[in-house]
């Protein structure tokens, strides 16, 4: 009896929770994968029974997908149904090997080989955190060694909801160049510009037309 209690407290397997999503917004769809890891049974496990909870004011449950070893093929079943429990919804999940192989050969003992994936739609525009939890209570697996029920340790996964993104705008080099061109000239630049203008006016007053040159030549010849 004492050993039985110690065995239950140490758990025969633990769940891991993984997802590609860490931040989601309204109308997004995301999924969370739960795998049975650290399986203590020498031959492995053949099934998982679990209970998941989430807040229906934030998320809408979309579906379940069984995560199984490749050699199981389609020889397994995975089902889920949900009920309302207070302000939360509870999903009950059952999945197990359902083929004709020797149970010892079909059993799973390695990490990240047997589990389930839950998909959700985001239905709220409010900011905050949404959490999907698989409870330790009711989390069981079937041992391939003697078909006994093994207790597991649950896991939760959280995502940020409708996180506001801050966009930093930088002035490009081209924009900076255009800004530099429109700058007002300095006082020195104005003085230089004024001197240049005076020089031009002097040059203009010293210019002679061709007609005035010809008249001067003719006058000199007549005087001779």
What is the mean predicted confidence (pLDDT) over 158-181? 68
What is the mean predicted confidence (pLDDT) over 86-93? 93
% pLDDT > 90, the chain: 66
Cα dihedral 37, 43, 48, 50 sign: negative
How far apart are alpha carbons 45 and 35 in whole angstroms? 12
Average pLDDT over all residues of the chain: 82
Query: With contact defined as beta carbons under 8 Å apart, do 146 and 84 qualify?
Result: no
Nearest to 59 by CA among 41, 82, 77: 82
pLDDT at 197: 44
Helix, strand and coil content of the chain, in percent to the nearest 5, comes to 25, 40, 35
What is the per-residue pLDDT across 99-154, written as a single tens digit (0 to 9) for each?
999 999 999 999 999 999 999 999 999 999 999 999 999 999 999 999 999 999 99
How far apart are alpha carbons 108 and 96 in whole angstroms? 11
Cα dihedral 167, 172, 175, 176 sign: positive
- Whether 94 shows a pLDDT value over 60: the answer reads yes
């Amino acid at each position: 009896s004492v050993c039985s209690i110690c065995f239950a407290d140490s758990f025969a397997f633990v769940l891991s929770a993984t997802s590609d999503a860490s931040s989601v917004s309204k109308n997004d769809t995301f999924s969370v994968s739960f795998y049975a890891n650290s399986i203590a049974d020498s031959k492995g496990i053949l099934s998982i029974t679990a209970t998941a909870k989430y807040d229906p004011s934030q998320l809408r449950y979309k579906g379940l997908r069984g995560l199984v070893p490749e050699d199981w093929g389609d020889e397994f079943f995975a089902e889920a149904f949900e009920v309302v429990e207070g302000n939360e919804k509870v999903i009950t999940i059952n999945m197990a090997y359902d083929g004709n192989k020797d149970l010892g050969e079909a059993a799973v003992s390695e990490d990240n080989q047997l589990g389930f994936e839950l998909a959700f739609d985001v239905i709220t525009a409010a900011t905050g955190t949404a959490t999907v939890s698989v409870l330790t209570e009711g989390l069981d697996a079937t041992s391939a060694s003697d078909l006994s029920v093994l207790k597991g340790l649950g896991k939760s996964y959280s995502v940020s909801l409708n996180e506001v993104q801050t966009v930093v705008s930088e002035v490009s080099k081209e924009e900076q160049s255009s800004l530099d061109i429109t700058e007002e000239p300095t006082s020195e630049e104005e003085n230089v510009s004024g001197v240049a203008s005076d020089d031009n006016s002097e040059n203009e007053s010293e210019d002679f037309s061709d007609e005035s040159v010809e008249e001067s030549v003719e006058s000199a010849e007549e005087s001779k």
